[in-house]
């Protein structure tokens, strides 16, 4: 029984793949490491309101960095807000707003590369803060902090 349980556990780990926190090569998009002002709070349903990213404390004019290696998918204005989006290997897309872009669509960037500068105006922030989001595919929003925080995996014995 113990052998079967171990095999099932290994199979589940292989199917699930590594957790987002083990994403190699990702860095904080602001330096020094910013204070998190608002946490990730996904909605129960896709169409409901929620917070599909995190807000990070910053200052107007502060450089905004690519969180990981990728290709700029968007650099422009959405609903009067300047936005930069980067596609990363594995189907992840990170988004940064409000950011005045210093990159162009199709440009390859590496982790830590300056993609633009932070501007004031994000709702609910005094001064300036960066709204940083990440999603897998088109509809699966993830907690961007999982990209930069190490979460150790601990296996526990099946029987006490």
| Nearest-angstrom CA–CA distance, 145 and 150 | 9
| Nearest-angstrom CA–CA distance, 99 and 81 | 8
Helix, strand counts (H, E) of the chain: 1, 11
Give pLDDT tens digits for 1-29. Answer: 444 433 333 333 333 334 333 356 899 99
Q: Cβ distance 120 to 55 under 8 Å?
A: no
Please state the domain extents for the chain: 22-147
The CATH label, of 3.40.1010.10, 3.40.800.10, 2.40.10.10, 2.70.70.10, for the domain at 22-147 is 2.70.70.10
Q: Cβ distance 118 to 59 under 8 Å?
A: yes
Give pLDDT tens digits for 120-136. Answer: 977 777 778 999 999 99
Please compute the mean of the pLDDT values over residues 68-72 and round it to a whole number: 97
| Nearest-angstrom CA–CA distance, 95 and 10 | 34
Split at pLDDT 50, 70, 90, the class of 88 is: very high
| Nearest-angstrom CA–CA distance, 15 and 143 | 21
Give pLDDT tens digits for 31-62. Answer: 999 999 988 877 776 665 655 789 999 999 99
| Nearest-angstrom CA–CA distance, 138 and 58 | 28
Please compute the mean of the pLDDT values over residues 73-100 and round it to a whole number: 95
User: Percent of the chain having pLDDT more than 90?
Assistant: 54
4 in helix, strand or coil? helix
This prediction has a pTM of: 0.76
């Amino acid at each position: 029984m113990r052998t079967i349980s171990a095999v099932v556990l290994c199979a589940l780990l292989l199917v699930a793949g590594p957790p987002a926190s083990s994403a190699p090569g990702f860095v904080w998009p602001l330096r020094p490491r910013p204070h998190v002002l608002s946490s990730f709070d996904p909605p129960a349903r896709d169409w409901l309101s929620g917070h599909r990213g995190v807000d990070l404390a910053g200052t107007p004019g502060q450089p905004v960095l690519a969180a990981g290696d990728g290709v700029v998918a968007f650099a422009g204005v959405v609903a009067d807000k300047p936005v930069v989006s980067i596609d990363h290997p594995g189907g992840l897309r990170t988004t940064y707003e409000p950011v005045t872009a210093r990159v162009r669509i199709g440009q390859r960037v590496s982790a830590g590369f300056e993609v633009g500068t932070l501007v004031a105006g994000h709702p609910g922030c005094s001064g300036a803060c960066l709204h940083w989001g990440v999603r897998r595919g088109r509809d699966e929003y993830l907690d961007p902090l999982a990209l930069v925080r190490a979460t150790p995996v601990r296996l526990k014995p099946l029987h006490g």
